[in-house]
Copies of this chain bind each other. A is one copy, B any other.
Amino acid sequence: MDLMNNKIQLPLEKLPRKWLNIAPFMKSKPYPLLLPNGKPADFDTMCQIFPTECVKQAVSQEEFIDIPKEILEAYVLCSRPTPIQRAYRLEKAIGVEGDDIKIFFKREDVSPMGSHKGNTAIAQAYFAREQGLKGLTTETGAGQWGSALSLGGALMDLQIKVWMVRISYQQKPGRKTLMNSLGATVLPSPSDQTQAGKKFYEKDSNHPGSLGIAISEAVEASMSSDEFRYSLGSVVDFVCLHQTIVGQEAKMQMEMINEYPDVIIGCIGGGSNFAGLAFPFMKDKLTGKKPNLDIIGVEPMACPSLTKGEFTWDFGDTAHVAPIVKMYTLGNSFIPAPVHAGGLRYHGAAPLVSLATHDGVMRSIALHQLETLNAGIIMSKSEALIPAPETTHALAAAINVAKEAKQNGEKKTILYNHSGHGFLDLQAYEKLIAGDLVDYEYPDEEVKKSLSELPDVDESTFMG
């Protein structure tokens, strides 16, 4: 253990200047996005929803896409490049100490908002402002993404309007305050500001809301104004693209200590933090340089889209205003149990992550929250870091892989994405410590029902 030399810090001058586009390297050709009417989305329609530059990036076949200087400066302000650490004390705590098993983790928790989300929030805010827009709209459930976009807005002098699911708005005043302190407008959803919201608001002005309604409101607000566009925090290709700065840094950091991971692990909700770490390594697998690299996405058992879902066409949202994409899905009407990893409660997974899974380039597993949050406690006691509930999924998987390797007498170098801290999610740990936390079984019947209600898409009309 060389604890005095355990922070692998990429020199500032090595900060990646480009994002890596994994699309041209994929084994199978990526599928297009479809409009809610089932037709492939045309460029102009997409540009009515998202900032134009982001749409361009989403359809680009360039291997690398330049990161503008102002985004790089904001990344540096927000603690990029982030460190990698070896979890020596965790290794000892779980009984795998020594030189055969090595667990490394990438510290995306050091960003001011506490997670990886800023990597794309900053980029989207920049491109929106450069386009001459006044602002971006978005939705937020627990508030993690809304906070990150608010940060992006503050740094780029852009107005941010966040529709926050009303029940969270009421129960998580801290998140709302954080967004307000960054200058963002936060509206409880359903609101009376949109047609989509009014339908619910007028019946019940205290309606608890849902992510589906909040998405509808944010999309409607952007499409009904020339000065606003809609911003998404995960799933779509350009978000995964922006996150690849994480994995590019990580590759160089591992090189600095003459290591290359055998296993890459990230938790998966929409898939962006996973993609961010994994894609730059996955490129080595796809190009034949590292054929045996094991890449693992970790989902909650309450919502195992990749692990138990179907690879098919589905709406990105429950309200059917977002595009239809080909992905692993549990069906857009499926409502996952209220596990504490709110950020992982998504019925689908990013199209590129789904495709990589379908192509056999990566695999996924699903874990229960009691196991993952207990791993969080082990991490807290050993490495003094309390992870976000989402992050505990990657952590718990890393622990399992390490223990298994130890048992089998294998050598293994593991790298996982420590995607966020848990300071604003302490209720999850409170319940765990009090013994009040429960696991939710995989809801087989509900998923079957939800999967029976997918949109009708005839691939043959647009796939060659």
Contact = CB atoms under 8 A, between A and B. Distances in A.
Contact of A73 (B3, B9, B176, B385): B3
A178 B9 CA distance: 27
Residue of A110, A174, A385 most packed against chain B (CB within 10 A) = A174
Contact of A173 (B9, B183, B377, B426): B426
B5 A12 contact: yes
A12 B4 CA distance: 8
Contacts of A381: 154, 181-183
B154 A380 contact: yes
A177 B89 CA distance: 21
Contacts of A7: 12, 76
A76 B3 contact: yes
Contact of A430 (B151, B173, B382): B173
Interface in A72-115: 72-73, 76-78, 89, 110, 112-114
Contact of A177 (B4, B110, B178, B426): B426
A76 to B, nearest CB: 6
Interface residues of A, number: 46
Contacts of A12: 4-5, 7
Interface of A: 3-7, 9, 12, 69, 72-73, 76-78, 89, 110, 112-114, 151, 154-155, 173-174, 176-178, 180-183, 376-377, 380-386, 423-424, 426-427, 429-430, 433
Contacts of A77: 3, 6, 89, 383-384
* Copies of this chain: 2
Nearest to A76: B4
A9 B3 CA distance: 18
B151 A386 contact: no
Nearest to A425: B174
Given A386-B181, A426-B178, A73 B380 contact: no
Contacts of A430: 173-174, 176-177, 180
A423 B73 contact: no
A114 B113 CA distance: 13
A110 B377 CA distance: 20
A174 B426 contact: yes
A427 B47 CA distance: 39
A459 to B, nearest CB: 44
A178 B423 CA distance: 8
A390 B256 CA distance: 39
A430 B427 CA distance: 19
A443 to B, nearest CB: 29
A154 B382 CA distance: 7
Given A155-B384, A182-B384, 15 more contacts: A5-B12, A77-B383, A110-B110, A112-B385, A113-B384, A154-B381, A154-B382, A173-B430, A174-B426, A177-B426, A177-B427, A178-B386, A178-B423, A181-B381, A423-B424
